[in-house]
Amino acid sequence: MAERKVRILIAKPGLDGHDRGAKVVARALRDAGLEVIYTGLRQTPEMIAETALQEDVDLVGLSILSGAHMTLFPRILKLLQEKGLGDIPVLAGGIIPDEDIPVLREMGIAGVFGPGTSTQEIAEFINQTLKRA
Amino acid sequence: MEIVERLLAGDRRAAARLMSLIENDTSQAPRLMAALYSHTGHAHIVGVTGSPGTGKSTLVSELTKKIRAQGEKVGIVAVDPTSPFSGGALLGDRIRMQELSTDEGVFIRSMATRGSLGGLARATGDVVKVLDALGQDLIFIETVGAGQSEVEIARAAHTVVVVVAPGLGDEIQAIKAGLFEIADLFVVNKADREGAEGAVATLNYLLDMNQAEGERWRPPILKMVAIRGEGVEAVVDALKGHRGYLKKSGQLELRNRERSEEEVKRIIEEALWGRLLSRLEEGEWERMMLRIADRELDPYAAAEKLLESWGDLGKEG
Ligand code: B12
Ligand SMILES: Nc1nc2c(ncn2[C@@H]2O[C@H](COP(=O)(O)OP(=O)(O)O)[C@@H](O)[C@H]2O)c(=O)[nH]1
Ligand SMILES: [Mg+2]
């Protein structure tokens, strides 16, 4: 009998070239036992939503340090909704000003993680989120 | 079954869900396959193997663009290894396939091996069937390519492409890993680098040495620069050429039959094994293994004892 594995898409939306954080998180989640689909730099919202659909992921993680999150995230969330993937939890990390966090939470982002977050904290949050779902 | 009907109607989300069902719980496979198997058998299944870093993902992406331009639909199953330590996996083949991700005629699925050793995941064959039933005309399977025995791909695919890159000593590696026998086509990728001609010459020499008498298909050796899309057309033509050869020579039927045989055998083995284990008492297996380790019992006697529970089937015929 095969076992159930948690699958997560780690994506970098927009023209942002900072990929260290995304890679650190991707590796850490692999080491926490998840199957991590990493798609590399410069993903459009369409690419991210379609990849989430094809890979049938349990979660989507967005990494962004460019400052474009307030324009990109709503489009990604809308496309996920349109594809019937509205109930997939979406997490975000990178450089996100404090004042944006409540707005993003309101929009439907499940959790926001800034610089210095320990990867254990992220793995723990994922466990809790999936348990609640 | 509703989800299978949605798949057959071309619903991509249903395809993705079905793949997960099959991958996560093999006990679902029988009823799902019962519903979709008769809708498979249309696709040309192409295996792509070779050491990590030779450019398999890049090449699959380039070939796919070309095949799409010819109007055919493409499926891709990209397999990466599961970490034996954490059970997790980093599935990164899509990094090289970005341009394909919004093409409606392409469906890509990343899979982790989840403990399988032959370069594919246990469920890879069934995931390919889902893509086949979805209507993809050509399906690529990119293997782990860990240089371990990858002969499983020969069973899963109609056409096997072995990718080598100059300077890695891959040609020799290919023989060691048993890839030479299963290649229907060699691609010397990264032909922009020094040593490509040498690799072609070595492969040619090795083919001369290894080609069995009377074999009709000699694997072509083609050069490619996947990052620049060079040499793509010749490889696509060779894939079609091999498919044509398989059909004309009767090899296609033969390969399909061999695959079915292996599949049925594997299913029986797993089912019998599962049933055997389920008939044991709690801890019986472990106790028996301890006794073998302590030399109180030998492995043959243990097996014989376990087979007793099978009645007639367990007796030597
Ligand atoms: C290293 C770096 C670079 C490197 C990037 C190398 C690379 N391949 O990643 C280079 C030199 C190339 C670079 C270039 C630029 N950079 Co720069 N860079 C940085 C720097 C110093 C560190 C980023 C980093 O790698 N941190 C280490 C990683 C591990 O941390 P992290 O990414 O934050 O990730 C953690 C968390 O955020 C979270 N996380 C991240 N992603 C995700 C995803 C999920 C799902 C989850 C759950 C969590 C999570 O978990 C991680 C672990 O804790 C930051 C400043 C800073 N202190 O953050 C500026 C910074 C990001 N850069 C900045 C800028 C402006 C640029 C440039 C435009 C020009 C410039 N001024 O240098 C270019 C643009 C490049 C491009 N094409 O996009 C600004 C961005 C300003 C903004 N957003 O408003 C910053 C903030 C510096 C600043 N204070 O001005 N940069
Ligand atoms: N020089 C050169 N590099 C290539 C070529 N094709 C792929 N690569 C690079 O080789 C690396 C590995 O490619 P990838 O497709 O991921 O290989 P895989 O591990 O076999 O799937 C990447 O950095 C590619 O950009 C090529 O034709 N020439
Ligand atoms: Mg690859």
Task: Find the CATH number of the domain harbouring B89.
Answer: 3.40.50.300
Show residues of chain B in contact with A30, CB under 8 Å: 83, 86, 88-90
Given this model, what pLDDT does residue B118 score? Answer: 82
Residues B230 and B291 in one domain: no
Whether residue B172 is found in the same domain as residue B270: no
Are B243 and B273 part of one and the same domain? no
The residue nearest atom 1 of ligand 2, judged by CA position, is B190
Same-domain status, B60 and B181: yes
Total Cβ atoms within 10 A of residue B302: 15
Tokens (6 digits) for B48:
């792509």
Q: Which residues surround ligand 3, an ion (CB under 5 A)?
A: B 56-57, 93
Calculate ∠ Cα A65-A69-A71, nearest 5°: 145
Q: Which residue has the higher pLDDT, B78 or B266?
A: B78
C-alpha A52 to ligand 2 mean position (Å):
25
**pLDDT value for B39:** 96
Three-state DSSP state, B48: strand
Q: What is the pLDDT of residues B132-170, one digit of tens each?
A: 999 999 999 999 986 656 778 988 999 999 999 998 777
* Residue linked to tokens 């057309």: B233
CA distance B48 to B159: 9
At A1, the pLDDT band (50, 70, 90 cuts) reads: very low
First-to-last alpha carbon distance for chain A, in angstroms, is 24
Query: What's the pLDDT score for residue B29?
Result: 78
Handedness of CA A26, A31, A32, A36 (dihedral sign): positive
Q: In angstroms, how far apart are the furthest CA atoms of chain B? A: 67
The response to whether residue B167 sits with its C-beta less than 6 Å from ligand 2 reads: no
Same domain, yes or no: B163 and B305: no
Q: What are the sequence ranges of the domains in chain A?
A: 7-132
| Pair B308, B173 in one domain | no
Residues 6+ apart with CB under 8 A from A15: A42, A66, A68
Task: State the Cα–Cα distance between residues A36 and B90, nearest whole angstrom.
Answer: 5
Residue B70 included in any domain:
yes
Q: How far apart are CA B36 and CA B1, in angstroms?
A: 10
Interface check A43 vs B, CB under 8 A: yes
Q: Å from B68 to nearest chain A CA?
A: 18
Per-residue pLDDT at B230 exceeds 50: yes
Q: Is residue B1 part of a domain?
A: no
Range with lowest mean pLDDT among A116-125, B175-184, B242-251:
B175-184
Residue owning tokens 């990390």: A93
Contact (CB, 8 A) for B79 and B91: no
In a domain, B13, yes or no: no
Residue B309 shares a structural domain with residue B188: no
In sign, the C-alpha dihedral spanning B51, B69, A85, A100 is positive
The answer, for A13 touching chain B at a CB cutoff of 8 Å, is no
User: Is residue A42 pLDDT above 90, yes or no?
Assistant: yes
pLDDT score of A102: 97
User: Reduced to 3 states, what is the DSSP secondary structure of residue B18?
Assistant: helix
B29 located within any domain: no
- Look up residue B184 and give its DSSP letter: S
What 3-state class would DSSP assign to B88?
coil
- Percentages helix, strand, coil for chain B (3-state, rounded to 5) are 55, 15, 35
**Closest residue by CA, ligand 1 atom 38:** A93
pLDDT at B148: 57
Whether B205 and B239 map to the same domain: the answer is yes
What number is the average pLDDT over the span B273-297? 91
Determine phi and psi for B123, rounding to 5 degrees: -90, 5
pLDDT tens digits along B36-82: 999 999 999 999 999 899 999 999 999 999 999 999 999 999 999 99
In tens, the pLDDT along B197-229 reads 999 998 998 888 877 667 689 999 999 999 999
Contacts of B122 in chain A (CB under 8 A): 2
Q: Do B60 and B193 belong to one domain?
A: yes
pLDDT digits (tens, 9 = 90+) for A67-109: 999 999 999 999 999 999 999 999 999 999 999 999 999 999 9
Q: B290: domain range?
A: 263-314
Dihedral pair phi/psi, residue B261, rounded to 5°: -60, -50
Contact A25, A121 (CB under 8 A): no
Interatomic CA distance for residues B3 and B78, integer angstroms: 24
Residue B77 lies in a domain: yes
In this prediction, residue A61 carries a pLDDT of 98
Question: CA torsion sign, A55 to B60 to A39 to B115?
Answer: positive
B132 and B278 in a single domain? The answer is no
pLDDT at B179: 80
| One domain, residues B274 and B245 | no
Higher pLDDT, B211 or B123: B123
R_g of chain B, CA atoms, integer Å: 22
Q: What is the count of structural domains for chain B?
A: 2
Residue A64, pLDDT > 80, answer yes
Dist. CA B50 → ligand 3 center (Å)? 10
Residue A2 has pLDDT above 60, yes or no: no
CATH architecture of A7-132: 3-Layer(aba) Sandwich (3.40)
**Three-state SS annotation for B92-153:** CHHHHHHHHCCCCCEEEEEEECCCCCCCCCCCHHHHHHHHHHHCCCEEEEECCCCCCCCCHH
Please state, rounded to an integer, the average pLDDT across all residues of chain B.
Answer: 91
Give me the pLDDT at residue B45, please: 97
Query: CB count, 10 Å around CB of A112?
Result: 19
Compute the half-sphere exposure of residue A99: CA atoms within 13 Å on the CB side of its CA: 1
pLDDT bin (cut points 50, 70, 90) of residue B30 is: confident
| C-alpha separations of A115 from A24, A27, A61, A129, B20 in Å | 12, 16, 15, 21, 33
Instruction: Write down the ipTM of this complex.
Output: 0.96
d(CA B142, CA B204): 24
* Partners of A39 in the β-ladder: none
pLDDT the model gives residue B146 = 66
Question: What's the alpha-carbon Rg for chain A, to the nearest Å?
Answer: 14
Looking at the fold, whether B219 and B308 belong to one and the same domain comes out as: no
pLDDT score for B149:
60
Ligand 2 center to residue B178 CA distance, Å?
23
The pLDDT score that the predictor gives to residue B311 is 76
